[in-house]
Amino acid sequence: MDNGESLPSFEGIAAAFAKAKAEKEKEESQGLKPLTVDAAKANKQGEVHFKAAHGILVAFFTWILILHALGIYLFTSGFLLTRLVLDDKSECSVPPVNSARSYTPGSPETGCWHPKTFEKAIVIIIDALRYDFTIPFPPAGSDEKPHHFHNAIPVLHETAINQPNNAFLLPFIADPPTTTLQRLKGLTTGTLPTFIDAGSNFAGTAIDEDNLVAQLRNASKRIVHLGDDTWHALFPGYFEPNLTRAYDSFNVWDLHTVDNGVTDHIFPLMQPSNTSKWDVIFGHYLGVDHAGHRYGPEHPAMNAKLQQMDEIIHKMIEQLDDSTLLVIMGDHGMDAKGDHGGESDDEIQAALWMYSKQKLFGRSSPAYVTPPATAKERPIAQIDLVPTLSLLLGMPIPFNNLGKPIEEAFIGAKGDNFENLAIVNRLASSQIHRYQHEYAVARSIDVSTRATSLRLWEEANVAWGSLDGKRKKSDSFKDPYAAFSAYQQETLGVCRALWARFDVPRMLNGVTILAFTLVILAIYARGIEGDRSELTPVLLFRGGAGTALGVIVGFAASVALPNIPREHVLIYTSAVSGTIGIASAFWYIRRRLVSPLPSTIWGWMSVLFTILLSVGFAANSFTIWEDEILLHFLCTFGVLTTLSSLRQKKTADRALGCYHSILFIILTRVASLSRLCREEQMPFCKSTYYASANSSTSATWQLAIPYVVALLLPVFIRDYYGGTLSYQGSAVLWLGFALRFGLLLSAAYWTLDAADDGNWYPGYGEILKTTKIVIAQITFAIALAFGYSTFNWSKPFLNIKSNAPDSKDTSSQVVADGGSTSIAILGYANVHGSRYALLITMWSLAIILVQKPMGAGAIGIATWQLFSLLEIIDTNRLADSPIGPVVLGLLGSFHFFKTGHQATLSSIQWETAFIPLRTIRYPWTPLLVLLNSFGAQILCAIAVPALVLWKQPPKKKGLLGDVAKAVGTHLLFYAVINLATTMWAGHLRRHLMLYRIFSPRFMTGALVLLVVDLVCVFVAVGGTRMSFLSVAEVFGWTS
Amino acid sequence: MTTVINSHPKPRAPANPIDILNNDAAKLYTHLHPALVLSLYAYQFRSIVADPVPALTSALVPLSILQIAYVATCLPPTGNSGSSTLQQEKRKPGEKKKPVPGKVEVGINVKIIPAFLSLLLSLLVATPLLTATLVLFGAPITTHHTHTLLCGAHIALLSTLPLVYVHGVDGETWREIVAMLLPIDEVYGGLIGTVVGAWVGAVPIPLDWDREWQKWPVTIVTGAYIGFVVGKLVGGTLLRGKKIMFE
């Protein structure tokens, strides 16, 4: 911290400037500057200079943000799977092979490619109907206790056993991602999902691929849809407008509106007088899914919901006519907390049940009459529904289908019609073969990748051909049936692998951009001597020039390389050329460069923490146990600062440092008790975030946590202000009143929410709902509207006191000595820190509101820890060290886990969107979910400037440069993590655990980096503008 | 701030690295000791993995004996540190020279009793502190208490017993020990090695290798033993006399 020391200047002007500055300083050191006209002018100049330097800093970090975004975009677009969508449609009159048994194809009335079995169908989706909900529990020979979700919907299992020719029940395995939108695509097109659609759950987009619904529509069938409105996003205008009823699907806290709507409208349609008005009904119940999201499966609400479904199915069976097929299925399952999206067993295992009044269904073995005891036995894929329904209803199989007809539906009541089974499988396989051929042509795929499947295709045709023309026993068709099945299985496997085909050049180029940006950031943050704000203009200028040049080069290159998409070339050249521009700027200022490698134990610890964490992400175990690793690192930091504090010379520093270090460790450990375990951590982890491991509601005792936070947190923060007598002016208004009131309101919100959830006051639900939303909005207004007004316009937290001259208080500055009294400025010692830290408390309030009660405790502790950390950094004189910003990164990542999150899709708390709003509103909905998910990282990022401002003298030189250095270091931490997770995800792209572990961690890392970039630029660095201007209003500008 | 508050008006003599006693037995045993400690641990490793609590409990006895033998044979007891010349300087003016007692009596009074006191202090003071530290670092808070306590006891016996023996219980000295202000020697190196070893020992716990030895607290104790041996060796040779700098 050699603020006054002169540095080797790189320009003559700088030297002259420094001289002038030194003279001015001398003049200023005489005492408070007299406000002459000259001084006022100089002051104005200082302000203009600061605003310009600050603006350039914001621009520079924004530019880093853009580089990060470009690199992440390029990698992501090559990494998240892509599948070419073929526009071909199957046609009724054009079967993929000549038909067997002299059947004349081409008529929807009798059946397009195969004689149809049913005239009409009712297809009901019970969202998130997990397979184990439908089978009896406990299984024979086990004495486990049934849960709420067990034995509540017995109808499916009973009918399958008692009337095996009318019904069958099978495990129905979803292809991840297990989000409803993706599942509906799979269930209607019969093809595999690609990951890139996973994020579009907010707004679905129409399916243009060939699909069952489109085929039905082409055949002039009248289709009715009832329930979840996602269908309308996928199939706009396909349904009978006057019979169809769609309901908002996103309000997961509403268990009944959608379900009651479906039930109210479906039974009238099943009346004999109305059955002529429609051909196919798609009904989509959401209650089970919403009960899972809201309460988790282990809750009486789930039991009630499943029993309601049971009754409805019973009623449907009663009213069903002979020519109609009834299908009940889940589109995916749910994990132990009732969420879904990923690919754990519980999430992909749904149930499928088909029922008909005619005795049409059979089993190939009598043992198969009993539905499988677990979803691991005899499972069928969800895409198998597509060819099955198509052939049963006499439709052509959609062109892109990869599924196989379900055995039970075609084998006949006696379970021996292998001829029929062979015929339908031949049809399905031929369509698959036709599709594969077209796909291979369109994508120019090498024949070698298809060699095995082509061989199987030949074998199947030979097996079929050997029977051709002869009327044989049904058993002899077993061979061709098996051969066609084998071909379908192999093709499905090839497609899974093929569509897991990554665009490696894009990924590599994305990683290159991220790596170059990382180097730039590393040099900027750690490799420059002196004030960064002086050097940022030249960096920004050269970087910008480089980018502009890169765009030109990119245009030229894209002409030369017509095979590569222009957007890819442009992004790559402009980003790389921009980093080269910055590199040239570094060369220009080379005399100011120092080695970015650490030289102190703190530097090495910063590097060690970051590198160990990054290396660990290559192993699934370390990724799974990231929360524990972070706890370990944070405690290590606390122990080291305890040791370091004991080395301090001043007893006060020693005592304060030790106290805050030990406090920091203990708070970390207390916070670590809040856990939400991911599936892979079982059985070594016990979730405490909600009432139980199978719940997503808080226990009653947890409701007390926000109140404790409201009572204690403002007191603790006040103490940190009190140490330097900075609890003055607006700080009293904010900390003493507004913050506390806001925290109390937030606590009240969660109590009301629990009352609404648990239905404590029946009949008052609507009032509770309205009240809690209003309370949430008021809290937000206090935190951000009132908070920012206070932050922007309040004076520095100072007070003037005249007292006897013997007062020896270090927190106040004696400005006019002599005579009997002196005037002291209270709060002088921490004027910058106390002023800026207000921003932390504001955002803390906003973030606490959007966390569940347990999360409010975690964020409360995090806020307390932030202030402790500021004291630790100050007493150990580490403001210049990288350890502060790095530990803030660790702390943010740690509390991410402590606020009930994991690096998995299913742990996203979507319901946050409804805290201050009733419906989805852009852009607020995604912003709220982001604030909930990354609240901890956001809070810690906001605290970064405070590290270098806490207890710094108001007129210290180069404070803005120090802020830039700290912010750069903080971003560096996340950039390293992001680069590591990106590289590991790319490198391990064939790993078994890619979608379960590495890919979600990569997405988390990328999102966190972008969010932290944004917050650092616009909230943290942006906030320093307000606080610096406010301090300078009193103390004037130093440069 | 111009005045530096100094709680120790009289500057203390700069601490010197501990020398092992200048006799053949000490020179021999100081090299033998780590080998004995490690072989003892290796011998019991299987039973520790099989059932940590009884095995770790019974392992405390031979470890205590070895450590007591080590400090009594090789190390200068507290107040006797450094070379004899330094000892002369340290003697306060006016202090009477004590009558020279018999050899066996000296052995018991000066060595065995302090060694047992060090053992007692390590078990009663250092063990609870280290156990608490282990819990803070993420050891199970509701279960495995005996496991953690035994782990703490092993670390305490390895790291603090020799330190208490050579440095006593002077508060300021212990501040310097904890603050890592002492020059490195084989005793101090043993402490740092044990702690770092235990820290590194946490690394394999999360790995999904499904090995018996990954169970709590086997890896930590193993790390502590290996760290002790390495730290003692490196501290007594390569890094001897070096000081740890934070800045």
pLDDT, one tens digit per residue, over B176-204 is: 999 999 999 999 999 999 999 999 999 99
Residues A317 and A441 both lie in one domain = no
- In the predicted model, what is the mean pLDDT of residues A371-396? 92
- In the predicted model, what is the mean pLDDT of residues A238-259? 86
Distance from CA of A683 to the nearest CA of B (A): 13
B208 CB within 8 Å of a chain A CB: yes
- In the predicted model, what is the mean pLDDT of residues A46-54? 93
The closest alpha carbon to A660, from A646, A675, A681, belongs to A646
Task: Report pLDDT for A333.
Answer: 92
Is the predicted pLDDT of residue A690 greater than 80, yes or no? yes
Residue A114 lies in a domain: no
pLDDT digits (tens, 9 = 90+) for B91-135: 455 555 555 556 666 667 778 888 999 999 999 999 999 999 999
Is the predicted pLDDT of residue A961 greater than 70, yes or no? yes
User: Hey, are the CB atoms on B138 and A635 less than 8 Å from each other?
Assistant: yes
Is the predicted pLDDT of residue A585 greater than 80, yes or no? yes
- In the predicted model, what is the mean pLDDT of residues A38-47? 86
- In the predicted model, what is the mean pLDDT of residues B18-34? 91
Q: Provide the H-helix boundaries in A527-625.
A: 532-560, 566-588, 601-616, 620-624
Task: Report pLDDT for A179.
Answer: 79
Q: Give the residues across from A824 on adjacent strands.
A: A801, A814
How large a percentage of chain B has pLDDT more than 90? 64
Task: Look at chain A and report how many structural domains it folds into.
Answer: 3
Are A800 and A777 in contact by the 8 Å Cβ rule? The answer is no
Ramachandran bin of A900, using left for φ above 0, alpha for ψ from -120 to 50, beta for the remaining angles: left
User: Hey, are the CB atoms on A622 and B181 less than 8 Å from each other?
Assistant: no
Task: Report pLDDT for A956.
Answer: 84
**Rounded Cα gap, residues A304 and A242, in angstroms:** 31
Residues A442 and A489 both lie in one domain = yes
Residues A230 and A357 both lie in one domain = yes
Q: Provide the H-helix boundaries in A80-162.
A: 131-134, 155-162
Question: How many C-beta atoms lie closer than 10 Å to residue A759's C-beta?
Answer: 12
Average pLDDT, chain A: 88
Q: Where are the domains of chain B?
A: 24-79+102-236
Residue A97 lies in a domain: no
Output phi, psi for A35, to 5 deg: -85, 75
Pairing between strand A324-329 and A167-173?
unpaired
The mean-pLDDT minimum among A86-90, A404-408, A711-715, A998-1002 falls in A86-90
Task: Report pLDDT for B20.
Answer: 87
Best B7, B136, B191, B207 member to test A by mutation, with max A CBs in 10 Å, is: B136
The mean-pLDDT minimum among A333-347, A379-393, B151-165 falls in A333-347
Pairing between strand A280-285 and A822-826?
unpaired
Task: Report pLDDT for A158.
Answer: 93
pLDDT digits (tens, 9 = 90+) for A487-513: 999 998 888 777 766 788 999 999 999
Are A400 and A434 in contact by the 8 Å Cβ rule? The answer is no
Is the predicted pLDDT of residue A4 greater than 50, yes or no? no
**Rounded Cα gap, residues A313 and A259, in angstroms:** 13
Q: What is the DSSP string of A921-990?
A: -TTHHHHHHHHHHTHHHHHHHHHHHHHHHTT--TT-TTHHHHHHHHHHHHHHHHHHHHHHHHHHHHHTTT
- In the predicted model, what is the mean pLDDT of residues A202-229? 83
**Rounded Cα gap, residues A748 and A854, in angstroms:** 14
Confidence of residue A819 (pLDDT cuts 50, 70, 90): low
Residues A758 and A862 both lie in one domain = yes
Q: What is the dihedral of CA A724, A730, A735, A736, to 10 degrees?
A: 100
**Rounded Cα gap, residues A597 and A600, in angstroms:** 10
The CA–CA distances, whole Å, from B102 to B68, B74, B79, B172 equal 21, 20, 19, 33
- In the predicted model, what is the mean pLDDT of residues B157-181? 92
- Maximum distance among all Cα pairs of chain B, rounded to whole angstroms: 67
Task: Report pLDDT for A576.
Answer: 95
Which of A440, A466, A499 is the last residue before a domain boundary?
A499
Task: Report pLDDT for A42.
Answer: 86
Task: Report pLDDT for A72.
Answer: 96
Residues A760 and A704 both lie in one domain = yes
The CATH number for A374's domain is 3.40.720.10
Is the predicted pLDDT of residue A100 greater than 80, yes or no? no
**Rounded Cα gap, residues A1020 and A65, in angstroms:** 14
Residue A551 lies in a domain: no
| Cβ within 8 Å of residue A52, ≥6 positions away | none
Is the predicted pLDDT of residue A197 greater than 90, yes or no? no
The CA–CA distances, whole Å, from A391 to A24, A362, A421, B165 equal 90, 16, 11, 87
Question: How many C-beta atoms lie closer than 10 Å to residue B233's C-beta?
Answer: 17
Is the predicted pLDDT of residue A8 greater than 60, yes or no? no
Task: Report pLDDT for A467.
Answer: 78
User: Hey, are the CB atoms on B246 and A600 less than 8 Å from each other?
Assistant: yes
What residue has token string 């008005």? Answer: A277
More confident: A566 or A101: A566
Task: Report pLDDT for B87.
Answer: 40
B199 CB within 8 Å of a chain A CB: yes
Q: A interface toward B at CB cutoff 8 Å?
A: 600-602, 619-622, 624-625, 628-629, 631-632, 635-636, 639, 642-644, 646-647, 649-652, 665-666, 668-669, 672-673, 810
Output phi, psi for A760, to 5 deg: -65, -35
User: Hey, are the CB atoms on A632 and B137 less than 8 Å from each other?
Assistant: yes
Helix (H) or strand (E) holding A318: helix A300-319
User: Hey, are the CB atoms on B207 and A651 less than 8 Å from each other?
Assistant: no
- In the predicted model, what is the mean pLDDT of residues A93-114? 81
- In the predicted model, what is the mean pLDDT of residues B44-58? 94
Distance from CA of B7 to the nearest CA of A (A): 7
Is the predicted pLDDT of residue B84 greater than 50, yes or no? no
Confidence of residue A814 (pLDDT cuts 50, 70, 90): low
User: Hey, are the CB atoms on A619 and B199 less than 8 Å from each other?
Assistant: no
- In the predicted model, what is the mean pLDDT of residues A815-839? 78
pLDDT digits (tens, 9 = 90+) for A594-627: 988 888 999 999 999 999 999 999 998 999 999 9
More confident: A996 or B223: B223
Residue A532 lies in a domain: no
User: Hey, are the CB atoms on A649 and B247 less than 8 Å from each other?
Assistant: no
Residue A984 lies in a domain: yes
**Helix crossing, A999-1014 with A924-933: angle to 10°?**
110
The mean-pLDDT minimum among A393-407, A439-453, A888-902 falls in A439-453
pLDDT digits (tens, 9 = 90+) for A619-661: 989 999 999 999 999 999 999 999 999 999 899 989 999 999 9
**Rounded Cα gap, residues B133 and B127, in angstroms:** 10
User: Hey, are the CB atoms on A650 and B247 less than 8 Å from each other?
Assistant: no
- Which token pair is A435? 């599709």
Chain-centre distance for alpha carbon A473? 56
Task: Report pLDDT for A992.
Answer: 64
Provide the residue count of chain B.
247
Task: Report pLDDT for A5.
Answer: 41
Task: Report pLDDT for B186.
Answer: 92
User: Hey, are the CB atoms on A647 and B246 less than 8 Å from each other?
Assistant: yes
**Rounded Cα gap, residues A424 and A402, in angstroms:** 13
Q: Which domain holds residue A714?
A: 598-1035
* Chain A residues whose beta carbon lies within 8 Å of the beta carbon of residue B242: none
Which of A481, A499, A517 is the last residue before a domain boundary?
A499
Residues A463 and A367 both lie in one domain = no
B246 CB within 8 Å of a chain A CB: yes
Residues A217 and A149 both lie in one domain = yes
Confidence of residue A822 (pLDDT cuts 50, 70, 90): low
**Degrees, nearest 5: CA angle A369-A370-A374:** 135
Confidence of residue A337 (pLDDT cuts 50, 70, 90): confident
Task: Report pLDDT for A101.
Answer: 67
The CA–CA distances, whole Å, from A65 to A89, A509, A609, B13 equal 44, 17, 23, 55
Task: Report pLDDT for A230.
Answer: 85
Residues A436 and A380 both lie in one domain = no
Average pLDDT, chain B: 85
pLDDT digits (tens, 9 = 90+) for A522-570: 999 999 988 898 889 999 999 999 999 999 999 999 888 877 888 899 9
Residues A348 and A487 both lie in one domain = no
B202 CB within 8 Å of a chain A CB: yes
- Which token pair is B42? 């290796």
DSSP A563: T
Residue A2 lies in a domain: no
* Chain A residues whose beta carbon lies within 8 Å of the beta carbon of residue B5: 649-652
Which of A447, A472, A499 is the last residue before a domain boundary?
A499
Task: Report pLDDT for A342.
Answer: 75
Question: How many C-beta atoms lie closer than 10 Å to residue B175's C-beta?
Answer: 14
Pairing between strand A380-381 and A167-173?
parallel
Closest residue to B179, CB basis, from A628, A643, A669: A643
Confidence of residue A759 (pLDDT cuts 50, 70, 90): confident
User: Hey, are the CB atoms on B4 and A649 less than 8 Å from each other?
Assistant: yes
**Rounded Cα gap, residues A941 and B178, in angstroms:** 32
Residue A555 lies in a domain: no
pLDDT digits (tens, 9 = 90+) for A278-306: 999 999 999 999 998 888 898 999 999 99
- In the predicted model, what is the mean pLDDT of residues B64-90? 71
* Chain B residues whose beta carbon lies within 8 Å of the beta carbon of residue A619: 207
pLDDT digits (tens, 9 = 90+) for A770-798: 999 999 999 999 999 999 999 999 988 88
Residue A654 lies in a domain: yes
Is the predicted pLDDT of residue A194 greater than 80, yes or no? no
Output phi, psi for A360, to 5 deg: -115, -25
- Which token pair is A786? 């009132």
Task: Report pLDDT for B55.
Answer: 95
Best B175, B199, B208 member to test A by mutation, with max A CBs in 10 Å, is: B208
B100 CB within 8 Å of a chain A CB: no
Cβ-based burial of A354 (10 A; exposed 0-12, middle 13-18, buried ≥19): buried
Residues A352 and A492 both lie in one domain = no
**Rounded Cα gap, residues A840 and B59, in angstroms:** 51
Helix (H) or strand (E) holding B32: helix B24-50
- In the predicted model, what is the mean pLDDT of residues B65-89? 71
Instruction: Using the CB atoms, write b or e for B41-75: b if 16+ within 10 Å.
Output: beebbeebbeebeebbeebbeebbebbbebbbbbb
User: Hey, are the CB atoms on A644 and B179 less than 8 Å from each other?
Assistant: yes
User: Hey, are the CB atoms on B206 and A621 less than 8 Å from each other?
Assistant: yes
Is the predicted pLDDT of residue B205 greater than 70, yes or no? yes
Residues A376 and A483 both lie in one domain = no
Task: Please give the single-letter amino acid code of residue A483.
Answer: A
**Rounded Cα gap, residues A9 and A535, in angstroms:** 11
Is the predicted pLDDT of residue A94 greater than 90, yes or no? no
Are A127 and A334 in contact by the 8 Å Cβ rule? The answer is no
- In the predicted model, what is the mean pLDDT of residues A230-251? 86
- In the predicted model, what is the mean pLDDT of residues A950-959? 87
* Chain B residues whose beta carbon lies within 8 Å of the beta carbon of residue A669: 135-136, 138, 141
The CA–CA distances, whole Å, from A448 to A405, A453, A496, A615 equal 28, 10, 16, 36
